[in-house]
Structures are given as structure tokens and as C-alpha cells.
Amino acid sequence: MKIICPKSKLVNGINIVLKAVSNKSTMPILECLVIEATSDHIKLIGNDMELGIETLVPGEVLIEGTVAINAKVFSEIIRKLPDSDVSIEVDENYRATITSEKAKFNIAGKSSDEFPYLPVIEKTNHVTISEFTLKEVIRQTVFSIADNESNKIMTGELFEIKDNRLKVVSLDGHRISIRNIELKNSYQDIKVIVPGKTLNEVSKILSGDMEKEVNLFFTDRHIVFEFDNTMVLSRLIEGEYYKIEQMLSSDYETKVTVNKRELLDCIDRATLLIKESDKKPIIVNVNDVNMELKIHSSIGSMNEEIDIKKDGKDILIGFNPKFLIDALRVIDDEEVDIYLINPKAPCFIKDKEESYIYLILPVNFNAGAN
């Protein structure tokens, strides 16, 4: 095999497939990426058995062939070469010679025969969405998946499609994030659980361009994302997602409209007084005049007042400040509406169209101690 590629394009391709390369595996072949050179393409492939990525790299194929090469070593070498064209030549013993200007490396590769190539998916059941929208949807929901593997369902996000609506849901037992998107076309019903790890990696690769599109293909076990000469294939999480409809009440006793930036900055300041090991709530006191936010910890205390528009009853309620910050950070609206029922019921942050809904459970606190 012999190929010549511009270094910048090669580095970009390597960065994409590295997201699917295993760092430590009992199968050394999974620590490799595969370079596949044919008459019509140069393809890089990574697969850790949960997530697989293929991407095409522009370049010239002088001799066709395939090689598996340690991804970490290969990546570091290419990254540190001069900013010029890179020549990669592989002999019959899979020894790779990498040359750029006056730099020359010889490293051992191996046959790709044992490499687990991505399964061929029948691409019939698909949905099209813009790169910008998919990247935004992931950003606005993925923070509230659970990071603990003991509950596999919570480590993924529900992707549910009905007609021309896409609903994406994540939850971790303390909060729920929902995004509702209107698609350009109608599709048959789909309901799958996509691993959060996959979504995080896809989000890093997506350009976020409004004009570019992603095709999503679904099977019983896999989801495929196709965009920009790249294909990402992931296993789905098996099982039934939680029925959250009964938690999404439209009732409220108090509605607060507040400037998002002011509220976010205020809570952010309050967290300066909380150690990571502490689980101190931020106390929210809503009255006719304003919203008062208070925090009291071993480091000190803070209280601040924010102007609001209020509809309904006064309320005193406590929240984990991180959960409020996570939700507010991903909302792009200048003002947010917060719906409250009582100090023990969840609050809802949502817009009128319910294109986003953030449910956050309150925390108990001793009102007298704060």
C-alpha cells in the first residue's frame, strides 16, 4: 500500500476515528485503526465494539492495500510531522514507512484480518436533520444522563420520532431534560435509546453547520449517523425507557418569569461558597416583589435579590444549584419561565411551545437554618 495525504486532512481524519478506538483492551487489534486504500478512497476506521467510526480522507492512492496500525502511536507521529504532504508506504510484512519532508518513521503494522469491521446496515429506515440542530439537541440534553453504569437505561437518551416530530429525553433520577424538534418531513414511528457516550462523540465531530445534513439510520440494535464523509455506528441500549408523561404536569401554583443571564450569574456566584463534597442547596424565596436566592455553607453565606414577574403564590423552595445551572446554560432565550407547585414538587423550566422542558426535583432544607 502507498498513499499520499495532506497532513491537516490526515490529522482531522485520525481525530475523528480515535473517538472509537479502545485505549486499553484485551484485544490489541482494538487499539488499532485501519487504513484502507482503494482506487476510489482512503478510509480510516476505528471500532471498540460499542462505537464504530469510518471517515474518508482526501489524498492520492499509488498502491492499494489495507493495514491495521496502533492508533496512539500513529496519531502522535502524524501530529508532529511538518505541515506538508505525508507519504505512507506499507510492505508485505505490514511495516509502515511514514515520510514527510526530511522526517521518516518506520513502525510495525499488522494485518487487518482480525479487525472487527463495522457491520453492514440496511439503510432503509432513516431520518434527516441538520448538523446544527442535532448538535444543539445533544448539547441541550446530554448533561442530564446518569454517569453510573448500574442503571444502563439512564446512561442513554430516548430518541422518539412520530410523524414530523423528534423528541429527545434524558434523565438521571433527579432531573429530566426534553427537547422537541419539528422535522422537515414525516417519518414512521421510531423509539430507541442511544448511548450518551455516542452522542457526546458525535457532537464533537459535527461541524454544527446549518446547511449540512445528517442522516440517521435505525435498526433493532444499531443507530448510524452519516455526515461529511463520516459514518458513526453505535449499538443501542436495549430495554424500555421510563414513562415520564405522568411527571409532566401542566399544573402550577407559581409562575416566575426572570432574566436568564441574571439568574444564571447569581447561582454561579453562590456556588463559590460550596465545596465539591458539600451538598448545600440554594434556597429560592419567591414573593410579590422579587426572587431572593440564599446559600449558607461552612465557607460563608450569600443572598441576592433578582427582579421577576410573578403569577400565583409565594413559595420557599431549595434546589441543587448545579442542576439549575446546567439547565439555564443551554437555554438560549433571554427570559425563562419557571413553574412551581410546592416545595416538594418538581419545578419546570420551559418555553410556551414546550420545545424544551427541564424538570428539576427540589431538595429538602431546614428553613430555620438558612
Whether residues 201 and 171 fall in one domain: yes
Is the residue at 240 inside a domain? yes
Whether residues 222 and 171 fall in one domain: yes
Are 15 and 25 in contact, with CB atoms under 8 Å apart? no
Is the residue at 320 inside a domain? yes
- Among the candidates 108, 134, 159, a domain finishes at 108
* pLDDT tens sequence across 102-138: 999 999 999 999 999 999 888 877 899 999 999 999 9
Is the residue at 35 inside a domain? yes
Whether residues 279 and 196 fall in one domain: no
Whether residues 163 and 97 fall in one domain: no
Is the residue at 116 inside a domain? no
Are 171 and 244 in contact, with CB atoms under 8 Å apart? yes
Whether residues 131 and 236 fall in one domain: yes
- The helix (H) or strand (E) run that includes residue 123 is none
Whether residues 197 and 265 fall in one domain: no
Whether residues 233 and 253 fall in one domain: no
CA distance linking residue 152 with residue 139, whole number of Å: 20
Helices and strands, number each (H, E), in the chain: 6, 24
Is the residue at 113 inside a domain? no
- Among the candidates 80, 108, 136, a domain finishes at 108
Is the residue at 257 inside a domain? yes
What is the number of structural domains in the chain? Answer: 3
Whether residues 168 and 201 fall in one domain: yes
Strand segments, DSSP code E, in 103-248 are 103-108, 126-130, 156-171, 175-195, 213-218, 222-227, 230-235
Mean pLDDT of the chain: 94
Residue 126 is predicted with a pLDDT of 84
- Among the candidates 216, 245, 274, a domain finishes at 245
* pLDDT tens sequence across 150-179: 789 999 999 999 999 999 999 999 999 999
Q: Name the phi and psi angles at 369, rounded to 5.
A: -85, -10
Residue 370 is predicted with a pLDDT of 45
Whether residues 182 and 95 fall in one domain: no
Is the residue at 115 inside a domain? no
* pLDDT tens sequence across 195-243: 999 999 999 999 999 999 999 999 989 999 999 999 999 999 999 999 9
* pLDDT tens sequence across 1-31: 999 999 999 999 999 999 999 988 789 999 9
Whether residues 173 and 184 fall in one domain: yes
Indicate which CATH number applies to the domain containing 8. Answer: 3.10.150.10
* pLDDT tens sequence across 143-157: 999 987 778 999 999
Whether residues 71 and 175 fall in one domain: no
Whether residues 131 and 142 fall in one domain: yes
Is the residue at 120 inside a domain? no
CA distance linking residue 311 with residue 334, whole number of Å: 19
Residue 32 belongs to domain spanning = 2-108
pTM of the model: 0.92
